[in-house]
Structure 1
Amino acid sequence: MLRFMDWSVVTMGCVLVLASLGSRWWERVKVPKGQGLDQGMRFFWAWLPLLTGLGMIAAKVPGLLRAPYTVVEIVDALNFVTAVVVLVIAVRLGRRVFRARTIT
């Protein structure tokens, strides 16, 4: 049962990565240049699910594939960097959203 739950986390990470790539493709095809949403908000919403999905995948795959300890440690360190980047993006996104609400 535990293996199923671990692979379901990997699957959810893959879904997030694919959804992020699909939304970026949809945005490029459907939204003309210079129109649509705020450029900064599009940047945040495009990268947030991609990095979150990559973090979910990187957290589980080395252990599931029984990788050596060194590989697991390197991937964990990279996953920590990804988590910090996601935190910075989320804080900047939240600050931007709340600042927009207080101005209007």
Structure 2
Amino acid sequence: LAAFGGIFFAMGGGFTLPTTQSIATKSVDDSRRGGVLGTYQASSSLAVILSTAVGGALFSLYPHLPNQVAFVASIVAILRAVLLARMFSRGAARHV
């Protein structure tokens, strides 16, 4: 079952990472693109490190809590994605 979840995690990363990198680079001029990509990658790596540490600590204290937190975070991310999709379809995303 864990491997099945890993497949969806990998697919999600495959869809979202190139898209968010593209949005990040196209939102700034060429002279700042390298700095933006560096900051993007550093923040992504830091998020992976911190989430692994926090998830491990939570799991050792409360075995079901990381799954519940991940569920809530996924719902929030899905809602945010829907809102962004609506903004892009209306052309309002240029002002974000």
Q: TM-score range by the shorter chain?
A: 0.3 to 0.5
Instruction: Provide the TM-score with structure 1 as the length reference.
Output: 0.36
Which structure has more relative contact order (CA 8 Å, sep 6+)? It is: 1
Structure with the largest fraction of helix: 2
